[in-house]
Chains A and B, each alone.
Chain A
Amino acid sequence: MFAYYPIYRGYFRTSLMLMFQYRIAMLIWLLGGIIEPLMYLVIWRTVSLQQGGSVGSYSTNDFVVYFIAMMMVSHGTFTWIMWEYVYRIRMGQFSVMLLKPIHPIHSDIADNIGYKFLTLTVMGPTVLLLAWFFDASWQPAFWTLAAFVPVLILAFLMRFYWEWSLAMVAFWTLRIDAMNQAYIVVTLFFSGKLAPLTLFPEIVQRAADLLPFRWMLYFPVEVLLGRVTPRDLLIGLGAQLFWLLAGYLVMQLIYRAGIKRYAAFGA
Chain B
Amino acid sequence: MEQNPVIHIDRLTKVYTVNERDAGLIAAMRSLVKRKTRDVNAVDAISFSVAEGEIVGFLGPNGAGKTTTLKMLSGLLHPTGGRATVLGYRPWERNRDYLRRMTLVMGQRNQLLWDIPVVDTFELHRAVYRIPEAQYRPAVEELTELLELESLLQKPTRNLSLGERMKCEIATALLHRPSVLFLDEPTIGLDVTMQRRIRRFITDYNQRTGATVLLTSHYMADVEALCKRVIVIHHGKLLYDGELTGLADRVAPFKTVEVKLQNGLNDRPLAQYGELIAQSEGRITLRIPKDDTASVTGRLLAELDVADLTVQDPPIEDVIEHVFSQSPDPSVAPDSQHANGD
- Known: A7-B130, A11-B127. Is A266-B77 also a contact (CB below 8 A)? yes
Contacts of B115 in A (CB 8 A): 17-18, 21-22
Does the CB pair B124–A13 fall under 8 Å? Answer: yes
- Can you list, as one digit per residue, whether each of A5-23 has a CB less than 8 Å from chain B (1) or not (0)? 0110111011001100110
- Can you list, as one digit per residue, whether each of B89-106 has a CB less than 8 Å from chain A (1) or not (0)? 000101011011001100
What is the total of A-B residue contacts with beta carbons within 8 Å?
74
CB distance from B126 to the nearest CB of A (A): 7
Closest to A102 in B: B128
B96, B111, B116, B130: which contacts A96 (Cβ < 8 A)?
A: B111
B77, B100, B126: which contacts A10 (Cβ < 8 A)?
A: B126
Assess whether B71 is interfacial by the CB under 8 Å rule: yes
Overall SS of chain A's interface: helix
Does the CB pair A99–B120 fall under 8 Å? Answer: no
Assess whether B322 is interfacial by the CB under 8 Å rule: no
Does the CB pair B127–A266 fall under 8 Å? Answer: no
How far, in angstroms, from A98 to B116 measured CA to CA in the complex? 21
Contacts of B120 in A (CB 8 A): 13-14, 17
A10, A18, A267: which contacts B116 (Cβ < 8 A)?
A: A18
Contacts of A263 in B (CB 8 A): 76-78, 92
Contacts of B116 in A (CB 8 A): 14, 17-18, 21
- Known: A100-B99, A267-B71. Is A95-B109 also a contact (CB below 8 A)? yes
Assess whether B205 is interfacial by the CB under 8 Å rule: no
Does the CB pair B128–A100 fall under 8 Å? Answer: yes
Does the CB pair B76–A99 fall under 8 Å? Answer: yes
Assess whether B328 is interfacial by the CB under 8 Å rule: no
Assess whether B123 is interfacial by the CB under 8 Å rule: yes
Contacts of B78 in A (CB 8 A): 260, 263-264
Interface residues of B in 313-330 (CB under 8 A from A): none
Does the CB pair A98–B96 fall under 8 Å? Answer: no
Interface residues of B in 70-91 (CB under 8 A from A): 71, 74-78
Shortest Cβ-Cβ A-B pairs, 10 listed: A10-B127, A101-B99, A101-B96, A267-B76, A263-B78, A21-B115, A101-B100, A263-B77, A14-B124, A17-B116
- B residues contacting A by CB (< 8 A) are 16, 68, 71, 74-78, 92, 94, 96-97, 99-100, 103-104, 108-111, 113, 115-116, 120, 123-124, 126-130
Q: List 16 A-B contacts (CB under 8 A).
A: A6-B127, A7-B127, A7-B130, A10-B127, A11-B124, A13-B124, A14-B123, A18-B115, A92-B108, A99-B74, A99-B76, A100-B99, A101-B97, A101-B99, A264-B78, A267-B76
